[in-house]
Amino acid sequence: MENNYNPIISVRRDFDLENIFYNLATNEAVIKDPDLKKIYSYLRTEVVPGSLLSLGAGPTHLHYVIPVIDLITCVTALDLSKKNIEVIKEFFRYIGSLKKSEEFKSDIIKNTDIQILQCLADFYCKIKKRGSGKGLLLKLLEKSQYHDKADLIIGDMHDFSLMGERKFNNILLGFSLYVNSEDQLLKFFQHAKGHLNPGGKILLIDFDKFSNDDINGEFLEDDDVIRKCPDSLDFSLEMLLNVLGQVGFKEKNISTKTIPVLTDGLEKERGYEYFFATIKN
Ligand SMILES: C[S@@+](CC[C@H](N)C(=O)[O-])C[C@H]1O[C@@H](n2cnc3c(N)ncnc32)[C@H](O)[C@@H]1O
């Protein structure tokens, strides 16, 4: 069956030149999007030193780890969609070309996609008043290696055998926890708990409701994902807290934030309510 999903479209929807650009007068990197700024500041505040595993990392994986790369030691990305992982690999190939000062050509990503990634990296160096965007991207590539290969896993996040014996300091779930039942949600957190190092955290960011309509409609996904999760559950905060309690997590800090509508922001048509959950053993 043909799979028409094109991940670069999701990247360009969430990271666009209207919101991420260089100020023409000063040449400084600017991020205008309030959603992204809130997500970045949450990540920088909550991430603990050590490793980070991003589950359902998506084609935007690098875009989300840029702000924390100086705070962590290594990063692993897992996604069910081979096409998403290919996009991440293509960005890695671009970063690798920086090291060798080679010309970069790609059928998957365009110059504007590269400019946005570079701008995010430059923005973070500006905030930290240290380093260069290029240096940060090279660090990102360096910290994304495992046994001398890019630490990218294609597979189902509910299958924790993919991680072997590996444990992590941070497990990030950015808009990616799709489950078919409450029981699957419970099992997921039981496994995730077992793959956290002492003091480790699960960082969960999502809209306060994630419905099946969203998977099939506005937030288009790879057919492989839709097949795996045909009846994606709208899990409420209450259900999440109940499950986390059953699994035995001691700390569950959950905050919600509605980020208002902007006429030219990410949320072009409506404001979204987000929840940010930090879960600890
Ligand atoms: C809405 S996207 C979010 C991507 C990225 N984290 C972000 O915030 O932009 C959801 C991602 O989760 C992935 N995903 C959904 N269910 C999955 C599963 N069971 N195992 C692995 N990845 C999954 C999808 O392929 C997709 O990349």
Domain contains 168: yes
107 lies in some domain: yes
Local structure of 123: helix, strand or coil:
helix
Angle at 149 between CA 165 and CA 166, to 5 degrees: 10
* Gap between the Cα atoms of 64 and 149, Å rounded: 21
Report if residue 189 sits inside a domain: yes
pLDDT score for 268: 47
- In which domain, by residue range, is 138 found? 7-280
CATH of the domain at 138: 3.40.50.150
Asked if the structure places residue 2 within a domain, the reply is no
- How far CA 140 is from CA of 91, 92, 128, 154, 228, in Å, comes to 11, 9, 16, 19, 30
Sign for the CA dihedral angle at 28, 62, 96, 13 comes to: negative
Q: Report pTM.
A: 0.94
What is the best residue among 117, 188, 225 to mutate for testing ligand 1's pocket, by most ligand atoms within 8 Å of CB? 225
Rounded to the nearest angstrom, the distance between the alpha carbon of 13 and the centre of ligand 1 is 15
Per the structure block, which two tokens stand in for 218? 């506005």
Atom index in ligand 1 nearest the CA of residue 228 equals: 19
Per-residue pLDDT of the chain (281 residues), as tens digits, is 667 899 999 999 999 999 999 999 999 999 998 889 999 999 999 999 999 999 999 999 999 999 999 999 999 999 999 999 999 999 999 999 998 888 999 999 999 999 999 999 999 999 988 899 999 999 999 999 999 999 999 999 999 999 999 999 999 999 999 998 999 999 999 999 999 999 999 999 988 665 555 666 666 789 888 888 877 787 888 899 999 999 999 888 988 777 665 555 554 445 677 888 999 98
CB atoms within 10 A of CB 154: 16
Q: Are 169 and 49 in contact (CB under 8 A)?
A: yes
Domain contains 1: no
d(CA 80, CA 56): 7
Can you point out the beta strands (E) in 220-260? Answer: 251-259
What is the distance in A from the centroid of ligand 1 to the CA of 221? 8
Ligand 1 centroid vs 55 CA: distance in angstroms? 7
Number of domains in the chain: 1
